[in-house]
Amino acid sequence: MRAVAQALDLDQHSVIGREFGNVVIVKELGRGSMGGVYVGYQKSLKRQVAVKLLPRHSGDAGRSRRQFRDEAETVAVLSHPYIVPIFEMGEDDDYFFQVMQLISGADLGCMIRNRLKHPVASRRLLPPARIIDILSKVLEGLGYAHREGVVHQDIKPANIMIDEAAHRPLIVDFGIAKTARMEYWGQGLVVGSVLYLSPEQAAAQETDRRSDIYAMGMVLFEALAGRLPLRQNEDEKRILLRKIKRPESLFTLAPSECSPHIDEAMEKIILKALAPRREERFTSCEAFRSALMHWNPPVPQ
């Protein structure tokens, strides 16, 4: 069993100013399990773009290259306003690279954490209407991906970017997505971010659209409550084991006990999305989205 979650060893200074295709690397944005992400300048179209780099020598080079290529090819066929587009992919002697849209804004995880720092206690949670607007659009994009045969497998707040210029969310990082044509994720391999894994993902079992729906349930709960009610002494390994053996005991409090924004109706939506047995979850993103759109937020007291 192996979790895909390590940051790669990239020397940011060695790539600043370097060209990949017709893009010049300007500065580093961040790092993740599938490489480093940089701001680049695309000379041909005179615009800034995001560039993801993966060292050719990292880990299992053959597998890494296949994953990196499959991510680009997967996103390339997903044309949707709520999925980040990839413009180009290629490689040189040292790196594999992807060129994609540069998003001006923060990810949902940053938004949730920053809001918790607000000096006024009553304003430390994102407005429910804002959360529903963001997540209903994410579900629309995710539902489209599912209809195209793509399961994301790593939905989490950090992979939902909010484009400030266009005022819309974008799903990013399809690095471990599963498609109908690409099935190299074998039994015994755990992929994804532990906290958002469905019980079947945690157990390295077959995944489908309902695995993404579980992850979206976690995102919804976290966004409305600000944080998830987990046991303080549990590390990722223990959380993983709990999801496999006793997934119903993951939380220490019911959703409605964690936030004034979560009433009985919203609690039912969250718990349906997070049902341990996938057969009890929403059958599709459209059904999940419909439930959110018909929910009426509780009136503040």
Instruction: Please give the Cα distance from 105 to 83 (Å, whole number).
Output: 15
Q: Does the annotation mark 92 as catalytic? A: no
Distance CA 267, CA 221 (A): 9
Catalytic residue (one of 9, 60, 107, 154): 154
Please count the other Cβ atoms lying within 10 Å of the Cβ belonging to residue 193. 22
C-alpha span between 36 and 118 (Å, rounded): 31
Strand partners, 160: 171
Q: What are the C-alpha distances in Å from 104 to residues 9, 107, 185, 275?
A: 26, 10, 33, 35
> CA 206, CA 144: separation in Å to the nearest integer?
20
Structure tokens at 83: 């999925």
Single-letter code of the amino acid located at 101: Q
Which is it for strands 178-179 and 19-20: parallel, antiparallel or unpaired? unpaired
Which residue do the tokens 């990082």 mark?
173
Percentages of the chain per state (helix, strand, coil), in multiples of 5: 40, 20, 40
Burial of residue 9 (CB within 10 Å: 0-12, 13-18, 19+) is exposed
Q: Which residues are catalytic?
A: 154
